[in-house]
Chain A
Protein backbone atom coordinates (compact mmCIF):
# COMPACT_ATOMS: atom_id res chain seq x y z
CA UNK A 1 0.00 0.00 0.00
CA UNK A 2 1.02 3.59 -0.47
CA UNK A 3 2.90 5.60 2.13
CA UNK A 4 0.17 8.21 2.38
CA UNK A 5 -3.46 7.30 2.41
CA UNK A 6 -6.18 9.91 2.42
CA UNK A 7 -9.53 9.59 4.06
CA UNK A 8 -12.26 9.97 2.96
CA UNK A 9 -11.85 9.01 -0.69
CA UNK A 10 -14.65 11.39 -1.64
CA UNK A 11 -16.33 14.26 0.15
CA UNK A 12 -19.31 16.36 -0.91
CA UNK A 13 -20.25 19.50 1.03
CA UNK A 14 -22.18 22.72 0.59
CA UNK A 15 -20.49 26.02 -0.09
CA UNK A 16 -19.60 27.75 3.17
CA UNK A 17 -19.09 24.51 5.09
CA UNK A 18 -15.72 23.29 6.31
CA UNK A 19 -13.99 20.32 4.69
CA UNK A 20 -11.65 18.04 6.60
CA UNK A 21 -9.40 15.48 4.95
CA UNK A 22 -7.09 13.07 6.73
CA UNK A 23 -3.86 11.40 5.74
CA UNK A 24 -1.99 8.51 7.33
CA UNK A 25 1.56 7.46 6.56
CA UNK A 26 3.86 4.65 7.59
CA UNK A 27 7.52 5.63 7.83
CA UNK A 28 9.58 8.39 9.44
CA UNK A 29 9.27 11.78 7.82
CA UNK A 30 10.81 15.21 8.17
CA UNK A 31 7.96 16.93 6.39
CA UNK A 32 4.52 16.32 4.93
CA UNK A 33 3.03 18.22 2.03
CA UNK A 34 -0.49 18.72 0.73
CA UNK A 35 -1.21 19.22 -2.96
CA UNK A 36 -4.34 20.06 -4.91
CA UNK A 37 -5.22 18.86 -8.40
CA UNK A 38 -7.95 20.03 -10.73
CA UNK A 39 -9.33 17.78 -13.45
CA UNK A 40 -6.54 15.21 -13.23
CA UNK A 41 -3.78 17.59 -14.30
CA UNK A 42 -1.25 19.96 -12.75
CA UNK A 43 -0.75 19.46 -9.04
CA UNK A 44 -0.44 22.66 -7.05
CA UNK A 45 1.54 22.76 -3.83
CA UNK A 46 -0.63 24.01 -0.96
CA UNK A 47 1.35 23.74 2.21
CA UNK A 48 4.35 22.01 3.78
CA UNK A 49 4.48 21.14 7.45
CA UNK A 50 7.71 20.07 9.11
CA UNK A 51 7.92 17.19 11.53
CA UNK A 52 8.64 19.56 14.44
CA UNK A 53 5.47 21.54 13.73
CA UNK A 54 2.04 20.55 14.99
CA UNK A 55 -0.13 23.01 13.15
CA UNK A 56 0.22 25.42 10.25
CA UNK A 57 -2.12 27.92 8.64
CA UNK A 58 -2.27 29.40 5.18
CA UNK A 59 -5.31 31.51 4.36
CA UNK A 60 -8.35 29.25 4.67
CA UNK A 61 -6.16 26.18 5.05
CA UNK A 62 -5.19 24.61 8.35
CA UNK A 63 -2.91 21.60 8.49
CA UNK A 64 -2.12 19.53 11.54
CA UNK A 65 0.52 16.87 11.97
CA UNK A 66 0.69 14.20 14.64
CA UNK A 67 3.93 12.29 14.22
CA UNK A 68 3.10 9.92 17.09
CA UNK A 69 0.03 8.75 15.18
CA UNK A 70 1.64 9.21 11.77
CA UNK A 71 -1.29 11.25 10.60
CA UNK A 72 -2.11 14.67 9.22
CA UNK A 73 -5.29 16.57 8.49
CA UNK A 74 -6.16 19.33 6.06
CA UNK A 75 -9.02 21.64 6.95
CA UNK A 76 -10.49 24.03 4.40
CA UNK A 77 -12.71 26.59 6.08
CA UNK A 78 -15.63 28.43 4.47
CA UNK A 79 -15.38 26.31 1.34
CA UNK A 80 -16.13 27.66 -2.11
CA UNK A 81 -17.21 25.97 -5.32
CA UNK A 82 -13.73 26.74 -6.67
CA UNK A 83 -12.23 24.46 -3.99
CA UNK A 84 -13.65 21.48 -5.89
CA UNK A 85 -10.59 19.35 -6.67
CA UNK A 86 -8.63 16.32 -5.57
CA UNK A 87 -6.35 16.76 -2.58
CA UNK A 88 -3.26 14.64 -1.96
CA UNK A 89 -0.86 14.32 0.90
CA UNK A 90 2.75 13.51 0.07
CA UNK A 91 5.65 12.35 2.18
CA UNK A 92 9.33 11.67 1.46
CA UNK A 93 9.61 8.15 0.10
CA UNK A 94 12.52 7.03 2.24
CA UNK A 95 14.18 9.25 4.81
CA UNK A 96 16.83 6.65 5.62
CA UNK A 97 18.26 6.67 2.12
CA UNK A 98 17.69 10.38 1.63
CA UNK A 99 15.59 9.73 -1.44
CA UNK A 100 13.96 12.92 -2.65
CA UNK A 101 10.96 11.32 -4.29
CA UNK A 102 7.54 11.91 -2.81
CA UNK A 103 5.01 9.20 -2.17
CA UNK A 104 1.43 10.28 -2.73
CA UNK A 105 -1.80 8.80 -1.47
CA UNK A 106 -4.80 8.13 -3.67
CA UNK A 107 -6.34 11.47 -2.79
CA UNK A 108 -9.61 12.85 -1.52
CA UNK A 109 -12.00 14.08 -4.17
CA UNK A 110 -13.76 17.12 -2.79
CA UNK A 111 -16.97 18.41 -4.35
CA UNK A 112 -18.28 21.75 -3.10
CA UNK A 113 -21.87 22.34 -4.11
CA UNK A 114 -22.77 25.98 -4.80
Chain B
Protein backbone atom coordinates (compact mmCIF):
# COMPACT_ATOMS: atom_id res chain seq x y z
CA UNK B 1 0.00 0.00 0.00
CA UNK B 2 0.90 3.63 -0.20
CA UNK B 3 1.26 4.11 3.53
CA UNK B 4 1.28 2.33 6.85
CA UNK B 5 -2.10 0.90 7.71
CA UNK B 6 -3.39 -0.23 11.09
CA UNK B 7 -6.43 -2.21 12.07
CA UNK B 8 -8.74 -1.83 13.82
CA UNK B 9 -8.94 1.95 14.02
CA UNK B 10 -10.76 1.67 17.32
CA UNK B 11 -10.96 -1.18 19.81
CA UNK B 12 -13.06 -1.22 22.96
CA UNK B 13 -12.54 -4.12 25.30
CA UNK B 14 -13.15 -5.08 28.89
CA UNK B 15 -10.55 -5.31 31.60
CA UNK B 16 -8.89 -8.71 31.57
CA UNK B 17 -9.49 -9.45 27.90
CA UNK B 18 -6.92 -10.21 25.21
CA UNK B 19 -6.48 -7.92 22.19
CA UNK B 20 -4.49 -7.97 18.98
CA UNK B 21 -3.56 -4.89 17.00
CA UNK B 22 -2.32 -5.20 13.44
CA UNK B 23 0.13 -3.12 11.44
CA UNK B 24 0.83 -3.32 7.73
CA UNK B 25 4.00 -1.34 6.93
CA UNK B 26 5.06 0.32 3.71
CA UNK B 27 6.19 -2.26 1.19
CA UNK B 28 9.95 -2.68 1.25
CA UNK B 29 10.43 -1.18 4.70
CA UNK B 30 12.45 -3.61 6.78
CA UNK B 31 12.16 -1.71 10.05
CA UNK B 32 8.90 -1.59 11.98
CA UNK B 33 8.18 0.20 15.25
CA UNK B 34 5.37 0.21 17.77
CA UNK B 35 4.70 3.26 19.94
CA UNK B 36 2.02 4.09 22.48
CA UNK B 37 0.60 7.56 22.95
CA UNK B 38 -1.45 8.77 25.87
CA UNK B 39 -3.59 11.89 25.75
CA UNK B 40 -1.52 15.06 25.71
CA UNK B 41 1.78 13.21 25.46
CA UNK B 42 4.20 12.32 22.73
CA UNK B 43 4.55 8.74 21.47
CA UNK B 44 6.49 6.35 23.68
CA UNK B 45 8.54 3.59 22.15
CA UNK B 46 7.48 -0.02 22.73
CA UNK B 47 9.33 -2.33 20.34
CA UNK B 48 11.33 -2.28 17.10
CA UNK B 49 11.69 -5.01 14.49
CA UNK B 50 14.39 -5.32 11.88
CA UNK B 51 13.07 -7.94 9.52
CA UNK B 52 11.44 -10.73 11.48
CA UNK B 53 13.35 -10.27 14.70
CA UNK B 54 12.67 -7.93 17.58
CA UNK B 55 15.84 -5.86 17.64
CA UNK B 56 14.79 -3.80 20.65
CA UNK B 57 11.90 -4.59 22.96
CA UNK B 58 13.08 -2.44 25.84
CA UNK B 59 9.98 -0.26 25.72
CA UNK B 60 7.45 -3.01 26.42
CA UNK B 61 6.00 -2.13 29.84
CA UNK B 62 5.60 -5.71 31.10
CA UNK B 63 5.17 -9.31 29.99
CA UNK B 64 1.51 -8.79 29.12
CA UNK B 65 2.72 -7.10 25.96
CA UNK B 66 4.13 -9.09 23.07
CA UNK B 67 4.63 -8.44 19.36
CA UNK B 68 5.45 -10.59 16.37
CA UNK B 69 6.42 -10.08 12.76
CA UNK B 70 6.71 -13.64 11.42
CA UNK B 71 7.33 -12.88 7.75
CA UNK B 72 9.08 -9.57 8.08
CA UNK B 73 6.11 -7.54 6.90
CA UNK B 74 2.85 -7.40 8.87
CA UNK B 75 3.20 -7.13 12.63
CA UNK B 76 0.77 -7.88 15.44
CA UNK B 77 0.93 -6.32 18.89
CA UNK B 78 -0.69 -8.57 21.46
CA UNK B 79 -1.86 -7.47 24.89
CA UNK B 80 -2.96 -10.04 27.44
CA UNK B 81 -5.15 -9.41 30.51
CA UNK B 82 -5.77 -5.81 29.51
CA UNK B 83 -5.89 -3.16 32.19
CA UNK B 84 -7.54 0.26 32.15
CA UNK B 85 -4.09 1.84 32.10
CA UNK B 86 -3.45 0.23 28.70
CA UNK B 87 -5.96 2.61 27.14
CA UNK B 88 -4.07 4.72 24.61
CA UNK B 89 -3.50 5.19 20.90
CA UNK B 90 -1.12 2.52 19.61
CA UNK B 91 0.94 3.76 16.69
CA UNK B 92 2.91 1.73 14.20
CA UNK B 93 5.68 3.15 12.03
CA UNK B 94 8.02 1.78 9.41
CA UNK B 95 11.27 2.90 7.85
CA UNK B 96 13.78 1.70 5.31
CA UNK B 97 15.92 0.32 8.10
CA UNK B 98 19.21 1.55 6.71
CA UNK B 99 22.02 2.64 8.97
CA UNK B 100 21.92 6.27 9.81
CA UNK B 101 18.84 8.39 9.51
CA UNK B 102 15.66 6.59 10.29
CA UNK B 103 12.84 8.77 9.06
CA UNK B 104 9.76 6.95 10.21
CA UNK B 105 6.38 6.81 8.52
CA UNK B 106 3.45 6.43 10.88
CA UNK B 107 0.10 4.77 10.52
CA UNK B 108 -3.15 6.36 11.73
CA UNK B 109 -3.06 4.38 14.98
CA UNK B 110 -5.44 2.14 16.86
CA UNK B 111 -7.32 3.75 19.73
CA UNK B 112 -7.63 1.15 22.47
CA UNK B 113 -10.14 1.70 25.25
CA UNK B 114 -10.19 -0.72 28.17
CA UNK B 115 -13.36 -0.44 30.22
Contact = CB atoms under 8 A, between A and B. Distances in A.
Given A101-B56, A102-B45, A48 B101 contact: yes
Interface in B20-46: 31, 33, 35, 37, 39-45
Nearest to A48: B103
B113 interface: no
Interface string A57-93: 0000000000000000000000000000000101011
- Secondary structure call for the A interface: strand
B102 interface: yes
A101 B101 contact: no
Interface string A38-53: 0011111100101000
A40 B89 contact: yes
Contacts, number: 71
Given A100-B55, A105-B42, A41 B105 contact: no
> Size class of B's contact patch?
20 to 34
A69 to B, nearest CB: 21
A63 B63 CA distance: 40
B108 A101 contact: no
A24 to B, nearest CB: 14
- The list of the 7 closest CB pairs from A to B, nearest first, reads A104-B42, A101-B45, A43-B106, A42-B108, A31-B101, A41-B109, A104-B43
Interface of A: 2, 4, 30-31, 33, 35, 40-45, 48, 50, 88, 90, 92-93, 99-107
Interface of B: 31, 33, 35, 37, 39-45, 48, 50, 55-56, 58-59, 89, 91, 93, 95, 97, 100-109, 111
